Structure 1
Amino acid sequence: MNKPINDISIVIIAADEEYAIQKCLESINRLPLINSEIICVDSSRINDATFNAMKKFSSQRDDYKLLKIIGTGNGMRSVARNEGFKASSKNTIFFIDGDIEINPQFIIEAIAKLKIHDCVTGDLKELWYDSQFEKVKKVIERRWPIPKEQKLFFTGGIFAVKRDVLLHSGLFNESMRCEDIELTLRISRLGYSIIQLPTIMGVHHTIEYSNRKRVVDFIKIQHGIYRGIIIRNNLFYPLCLFQFLKTESSFLWGILFYFFSLIGFLWWGPLFLFVSLIFFALDMLYGKVKRKDWFHRIYLHYITPVHILKGLFFCFKLPQPDYKVQLVNTLENC
């Protein structure tokens, strides 16, 4: 039997994740919670299936709050996280996405580590599905395999954090995507400690990252511009910047490709463009040998770098999302 989990706020955000949210909620039901609370935040735009699953779950528990976010804008995930935090009351906050099936052992270990550190994350097991969420196409036992605990300067959206640290850091930036990375880099810059445990936080049920529709959606919203903004914000923090560039290294190929293509064109003229095309073809051929999706490879190596440069040099003021929040349990508007 698992050790009781005491005095924690679990904030779950989800948007049109009806295929995975049930697994997440079932894992929540199995947690041995004492004096704790669960806050679910739905910001779905396509249909109400995710919201209905959350609402049904609310009837089974008395430690549960359900928020509905209605609005538009690139920062809706940030809004969902912030509103979930504002509805919480405990000193330890655990943020997860609605497609995560939680491992209770991680929460127990994270709470213990937060006596020393300020923010704790872990590893994930990944199940990649087809676009209809009917078939598992790939299983990754460990997404970030590490032999022991290590210090980080940023992390993704699944982490436990002290309440006062989050307040001091200024919460999630509601004009940003990559809001988890942006916030945790800010936490590091303020001098707080972030650690990663080798413990699996849970099972991530998701559509494979190279899914064509997923990639097209990222291109449409110019997802890379937010990474460019993150680079600019951390230019004078070399340790933070180095770790970020190390984990996001796939776009460096494209930046080097464009740089040397431009220099070659200026020095040797249009003939050098032919050399650039040869390098492009070799990159595609190498991807094929490694069984990488060609469209996803073009996105990572040649489209994302353009968006990153745009964010780095041109995006200084992003629009704020327009939204309203409803506390569904009591039907009160927040």
Structure 2
Amino acid sequence: MNDERPLVSVVIPTKNSAATIETCLKSIKEQTYPDIEVVVVDKFSTDETAEVAKDLGSMVIKSGVMRSKARNIGVEKARGELAFFVDSDMELTPRVVEKCVEKILNEKADAVIVPELSVGEGFWAGCMSLDKLMCIGDSLIEVARFLNRKAFEAVGGYDEELVAGEDWDLQTRIEKAGYKILRVNPVILHHVGDLSLKDILMKKTQYGKTIMTYVKKHPQKARKQLMVLRASYVRHWRVLMRNPLHALGLFVMRLIEYGVAGIGILSGESNACGRA
């Protein structure tokens, strides 16, 4: 690695995540790369999220904004040349930051994709884990979380009008601007806990209510991203065959997600019409 070590600012938007953020922050402290600061943008949590973050050395900013704006605020307050956007229920494997910095310094990358794996308990968490595994290497689904700050600011940061799909939108603008995007092998673990079908239904209904702004902005790309049968499933059919029960559950989950998200979309459009 280059002798000059740029400061990496890890930005974490969060609300009421005391149950998960400690694991996240400890995994950042255990990185092999030493020059890291953590900026937690807390949406006025009513649990001990802010206290846990402060105890582990993070800068905590209180703000009542949505995730996209929270990330932008985090970068504004950060000191680093490089920005790494992490969620509070994620855990970094030890060499993630080191390898991302190497891509920036040694291979002149502007943005770096870190593969994500889902971990949790129960059948539906297993289906989610299989889905994440299928998406590794899928250029339609994966996004760069680790960025050169100059590139991030040059494309305007996260679109603060988007509540869902904001990471896909940023990725699209980075690609269109011609920035160099590379990937690393170390992974991020996304902890989903004991996931139930009810949890999925509630989350996807809300997702459907908010995703239409993104769909209208990138209609052709969104159509492919939101398909029930993703191209990555076809490419990795052997993996699905080795996990038949979870594969079946995955397709059931995707069908239900698609239908429930559709209801959410219709509900969101209906509410918008009612306000007009």
Normalising by structure 2, we get a TM-score of 0.74
Residue 177 of structure 1 aligns to a residue whose secondary structure is coil
Match of 2:159 in 1: 173
SS of the equivalent of 1:171 reads: coil
Please give the residue correspondences for 1:268-283 in structure 2 after superposition, counting only pairs within 5 Å. Answer: none
**Cross-structure match for 2:18:** 18
The match for 1:270 is none
- Deviation digits for residues 220-278 of structure 1 (CA, Å, limit 9, x no counterpart): x3x2254333233224xx6xx1xx544421299xxxxxxxxxxxxxxxxxxxxxxxxxx
> Counterpart amino acid of 2:79?
S
Aligned to 1:230, what secondary structure does the other structure show? helix
CA contact (8 A) 1:251 1:304 kept: no
The equivalences for 1:154-303 within 5 A come to 155-156=142-143, 159-178=145-164, 179-197=166-184, 199-207=185-193, 210-219=196-205, 221=206, 223-235=207-219, 241=221, 244-250=222-228, 290-291=248-249, 299-303=256-260
Residue 33 of structure 1 and its aligned partner are, at CA, apart by: 4.3
The alignment's C-alpha RMSD in Å is 3.9
Separation of aligned partners in 2, 1:143 and 1:312: 29
* Structure 1 residues 93 and 315: CA distance shift in structure 2, 3 A: farther
Cα distance in 1 between the residues matched to 2:203 and 2:141: 25
Q: C-alpha displacement at 1:142, in angstroms? A: 8.6
The change in CA–CA distance for 1:251 and 1:300 in structure 2 (over 3 A counts) is farther
- SS of alignment partner, residue 152 of structure 1: coil
Please tell me whether the aligned partners of residues 6 and 81 of structure 2 are also in contact (alpha carbons under 8 angstroms). Answer: no
Question: Could you say which residue in structure 2 is the equivalent of 1:143?
Answer: 132
Q: Quick check: 1:92 aligned with 2:88?
A: no
| 8 Å CA contact 1:11, 1:93 repeated in 2 | yes
Measured at CA, do residues 151 and 163 of structure 1 come closer, stay the same or move farther in structure 2, by a change above 3 Å? farther
C-alpha separation in 2, matches of 1:155 and 1:301: 19
Q: 1:41-190 counterparts in 2 under 5 A?
A: 41-45=41-45, 47-58=46-57, 64-70=58-64, 76-114=66-104, 115-129=107-121, 138=126, 140=129, 143-144=132-133, 152=139, 155-156=142-143, 159-178=145-164, 179-190=166-177
Runs of at least 5 residues in structure 1 that lack an aligned partner in the other structure:
59-63, 253-286, 319-334
Distance 2:94 2:86 in 1: 13
Residues 75-127 of structure 1: CA deviation (Å, up to 9, x unaligned): x1112211111111221111111111112322222112224322111212321
Q: What is the aligned partner in structure 2 of residue 305 from structure 1?
A: 262
Number of residue pairs matched?
254
User: What secondary structure sits across from 2:158 in the alignment?
Assistant: coil
Q: Secondary structure, in 3 states, of the residue corresponding to 2:63?
A: strand
Structure 1 pair 183–154 and aligned structure 2 pair: CA distance change class (3 A): farther
Identity %: 20
Deviations 1:51-75 (CA, angstroms, capped at 9, x unpaired): 22112212xxxxx42212235xxxx
Q: Quick one: distance in 1 between partners of 2:109 and 2:247?
A: 43
- Higher strand content, 1 or 2: 1
Paired residue type of 2:208? G
* Aligned residues of 1:5 and 1:32 also touching (Cα < 8 A): no
Counterparts in 2 of 1:251 and 1:140: CA distance versus 1, 3 Å? closer
Q: 1:288 to 1:182 in 2, by over 3 A?
A: closer
Q: Separation in 2 of the partners of 1:120 and 1:289?
A: 29
Gaps of 5+ in 2: 231-244
TM-score normalised per structure 1: 0.62
Cα distance between partner residues in 2 of 1:117 and 1:311: 38
Does the 8 A contact of 2:90 with 2:191 survive in 1? Answer: yes
Match in the other structure for 1:331: none
Structure number with greater Rg is: 1
